[in-house]
Amino acid sequence: MEDTGAGAGISLAGLTKTFRSPEGPVHAVRGIDVEIARGQTVALLGPNGAGKSTTIDMLLGLMPPDAGTVSVFDREPRAAIDAGLVGAMLQTGALIQYLSVRELLTMVAGMFPAPAGIGEVMAQTGLVRIAGRRTQKLSGGETQRVRFAIALISNPDLLVLDEPTVAMDVESRREFWDAMRAFAARGKTVLFATHYLEEADQNADRVILMARGQVVADGPPTEIKGRVGVRTLRATLPGVEAGELAQLPGANSAERRGDAVVVVCADSDQTIRALLDRFPAASDIEITGGALEDAFLALTADEPSVA
C-alpha cells in the first residue's frame, strides 16, 4: 500500500484505567495490548465488569486512558471520529424526542463529512417502514435499530458495538447480526463487546477474551470456545463417589448433592459417553451451558484479586 494509513488498523497499547470509588481504587483496565487488522470482525468477550466498556470508551476517545495509547487507522480517536471513520453503538442511550426517524438520521448525517445515504442506511437497518415515525413512539427493538442506523450513518470504516443486542428479542437479534455481517462483508472493521459466548462464536473472526481488566485469551472463536465452553452435567446417580466422576474424560470436577451429582465438564460430549458407559444407572441427565463468569474466573484464578 502506498498510503501508510490504508493498511493500519486499530491499535491499543498498554491501556490502563483506574477509577476511584468509595471502596478504594477500581482497576477497570489493567494493561491491554491489542492490534486489530483492517477488515477483521472481533468480539470482545467477557463477563460484566471485565473492562469491555471502559476499553471501548477509551477506543472512542470518550475517556482518556491513565496510561497507554489508542490509534484508529493511524489517527487519534478524536481525529478518526471527525473524519467520519468510526461509527458506534454505545451500551446505553435513548434517542432524543420530537423528530422522526428520517429527520434524526438526517440531522446526525449532517454532522459528518461524507455520510452514507439516509435511504440506504434505513434499508440496511429495516427502518424504511417507520421512517416517518417520531422517535418517542418507537418500541425498544425499533429504537435499537435506529441506534444501529446512527452508528452506520457516517459510512464508517470501523464499527464499534457495545453489547448491542441486550435489549433485543430473538428475531431482532438475528436481523441485527445479519445486517452487521453484511456491513463487515464490505471489508469493514468491526469490534463488538458481548458477554454471550454464542454471539462471539457465530459472528466474529476472532475473539478477545477479557476478564478483570486484562486480555486472558485471544484467538479464533473455536479455540476460545474450547477454553471457556464449560458445561455442567447433572444426573441422578446414588452410590458413586464424586471423586470417581471427576476422573471421567472431559470432566474438570464433580460434587455430590444428595442423590444427584454435578459434573463440570470441559468436553461434555466425552464425559456423557464415558458416564453412560461406566454407570448405566445414571438417570435424569441434564447438560447445561455453564455460566461464562465461572469459566473466566477459572481462567484467571491465579491472578491477584482486584477487590
Hey, CA dihedral for 230, 231, 234, 240, is it positive or negative?
Answer: negative
Cβ proximity to other proteins, 112 vs 296, nearer residue: 112
Q: How far is the CB of 30 from other proteins (least distance, A)?
A: 16
Residue 94 CB, nearest approach to other proteins (Å): 4
Which residues are CB-contacts of 213 (< 8 A; sequence separation ≥ 6)?
27, 28, 29, 30, 31, 32, 50, 51, 54, 306
As to burial, measured by CB atoms within 10 angstroms (0-12 exposed, 13-18 middle, 19+ buried), residue 26 is middle
Binding site for other proteins (CB under 8 A): 19, 57, 60-64, 81-84, 86, 88, 90, 92-99, 103-104, 106-108, 110-113, 150, 154
Nearer to other proteins, 103 or 303 (CB): 103
Helix and strand numbers, DSSP H then E, in the chain:
12, 13
**Look-up of cell digits 437497518:** 125
Nearer to other proteins, 95 or 168 (CB): 95
Q: Which is nearer to other proteins, 150 or 275 (CB)?
A: 150
The least distance separating other proteins from the CB of residue 250, rounded to whole angstroms, comes to: 42
Shortest approach of other proteins to residue 81 CB, angstroms? 6
Residue 179: which of 194, 164, 167 has the closest Cα? 164
Instruction: Report the C-alpha gap between 287 and 99 in whole angstroms.
Output: 49
Task: Choose between 13 and 62: whose C-beta lies nearer to other proteins.
Answer: 62
Closer residue to other proteins (CB): 61 or 219: 61
**Do the Cβ atoms of 50 and 213 come closer than 8 Å?**
yes
Q: How far is the CB of 51 from other proteins (least distance, A)?
A: 13
Q: Give least dist CB 214 to other proteins, A.
A: 19
Helix (H, G, I), strand (E, B) or coil at 227: helix
Best CA proximity match to 282, nearest among 271, 292, 294:
271
CB of 3 to other proteins, least distance (A): 21
Query: 108 is written with which cell numbers?
Result: 446526525
How many angstroms separate the CA atoms of 164 and 156, rounded? Answer: 17
Select 159 or 266, whichever has its Cβ closest to other proteins. Answer: 159
Closest to other proteins by CB, 62 vs 274, is 62
Sorted by sequence, the CB contacts under 8 Å of residue 82 that are 6+ apart come out as: 113
Residue 180 and residue 43: Cα distance in Å, rounded?
12
User: Least separation, in Å, of the C-beta of 290 and other proteins?
Assistant: 31
